[in-house]
Amino acid sequence: MVEDRVTDGKRIGQLLASELTGLDRGPLGSVSVVDADPDVEPTPEGALAYRLTAGEASVGTVSVTPSTARLELVTTVDPELPDYAAVTVEQTDSGTVLIAHSGAAVKQLVDVIAATLRSD
């Protein structure tokens, strides 16, 4: 069993980017990580790490804080996350923000992105 838990926001953001760029089937096959800043320094407010696109359409942005990665989707979604999810969901006027508190949450973010693309 894994004893170490990834709670570094920059690393969580990197894990998400890696997961998305490694998928080439289904709705995630068209997702690209663009305008990535490999030297981004996390800030308490969240520093922009990269944008996500699907074809020519914007999907959202990922910003990093010292302890989280924030995925801000351009659409409002009501993600169905398990009770044990390491993700906090915030609805804003411009879309939905999913805050990953650990590396384990990356799979849940990928699932939400896939569901969002399927519904478009």
pLDDT, tens only, 62-106: 999 999 999 999 988 777 766 656 888 888 888 899 999 999 999
Residue 34 to residue 49: CA distance in whole angstroms: 9
Q: Is residue 4 part of a domain?
A: no
Residue 1 pLDDT exceeds 80: no
Q: Is pLDDT of 59 > 70?
A: yes
pLDDT tens digits, one per residue of 2-43? 556 778 999 999 999 999 998 778 889 999 999 999 999 999
Q: Give the CB-side neighbour count of residue 14, counting CA atoms within 13 A.
A: 13
State the pLDDT at residue 120.
63
Rounded-to-integer distance, Cα 115 and Cα 28, Å: 9
Q: Is 90 within a domain?
A: yes
Residue 1 covered by a domain: no
* Domain contains 46: yes
Q: Domain for residue 32, yes or no?
A: yes
User: Does residue 2 form part of some domain?
Assistant: no
What is the domain range of residue 22? 9-119
What are 56's two structure tokens?
């020519």
- The CATH number for 65's domain is 3.90.1150
How many folded domains does the chain comprise? 1
